[in-house]
Structure 1
Amino acid sequence: MSPRLPTVFLPALLCDEMMYRDVIAALGEAIEPQILMSPQARLSDSVADILARAPRTFALVGTSYGANLALAIALAAPERVSALWLMGCNASVPAAGGPDLAAGLEATPEAIIDFLAGIVVRPTDHAATAAFKAMAHRVGAAAGAAQARALASRDDIWSRLGELRMPALILSGDEDPIAPPACGQQLAQAMPRARFELLSQCGHLPSLEQPKQAAASFHAFLGEAAMQPAR
């Protein structure tokens, strides 16, 4: 039996371990999962904290905010990240909306959570909508505000993406309004060993909306990555 692959999962903004529960169950004995959260107001502080708690080497999974954190971690310690799986990732440096989102979460958290719930998953997916709201209330507005500020102040990394030579899977939902498929395609083209996949009938959070399909894509990707020579 092959050893289980140490795999670190980084949730999206206002999300917790629930967003990966079904994916982890579907992957079964293929991985040794660890879900880590570090809602700091500076992405660099979260990077240092995650690296201090992560295994020596590991596959790294991130969604949305967690995907941007994953990219920062991989750039900070590429020798420790054996593979990358990014979902709902818009790696472009944002406009000034991050501080506004942070301020909104601090002032009117219920209204902002309701607003976000209407766009992070497809409106017709009531189970995923309810799951997001439950996670957001557990994580709390203060942590979400810190995550939003970290995203707003992150560095432009596009010129460095060619440094990420580990195998990477970029997964996008075909109905994602926050990180449309073009964002995932552009990201995959910038990374030497990345491949892009599109999930149908899926929004911004594939592991909530299409967990079995997302897990199947990652499992196949890991099998192919294991057959590739290191670079």
Structure 2
Amino acid sequence: MARIVDLVAAALVPERCLHCRGPARAGAPLCDACRRALPWLPVDGCPRCGLPRPCAQGRCPAARTALAGAWAPLAHEGAARALVLAAKARAARRVAPWLAAAMTARAPAGLLAGVEVVVPAAADPARRRRRGEDHARLVADAVGRALDAPVAPLLVRRRSAPAQHARGRTARLTLPPPIVAGPVPAVVLLVDDVHTTGATLAASADALRAAGAQRVVALTATRALR
């Protein structure tokens, strides 16, 4: 009965675009216009930090981190930013499969080679309880299904911290690193929703490398460009 009610409701109440709030196709997170306007990033940018252009020698922000590579299919702006915010706030299960498809279908050649496990970024415990969802885990689960790779929540944060979106790289570097809660294979794919300063990804890669990983690459849905 509940399934029938859901189907009737879906027929009577059209989907809304998560960016412009206009009508969208059933199951689609964006309307056609917002989908066409998505800020796609090239696959031939900096292979280490994921910026859309190769970094000058010695200027890559990821050069001194444990990350072997990083990439995102979309810039963190416009409709792509709206998708990430919606995934955090209210629509994680609707958005996660779409983001995972974009992340895996467009990934640079070689980035995902040999991945043995997909690891979601550690969720802040207080925000996870408040939202009722671990959005990074939902995206990681969808990525794992797309790659036919196991997913393991190996990174854990025991204590909550201030929200990261308003903190710069220096402030983020002062946060305690995540704890690794289990054995780590050689090649790890670290998954998160957005790559901003890279500090969170770098701390996670450091922890995974210290626990035995030989290669850690990061895959996110969006990449902040400034």
TM-score (norm 1): 0.27
Flag the structure with higher helix content.
1
TM-score (norm 2): 0.28
User: Considering only CA atoms, is the larger Rg found in Structure 1 or Structure 2?
Assistant: 2
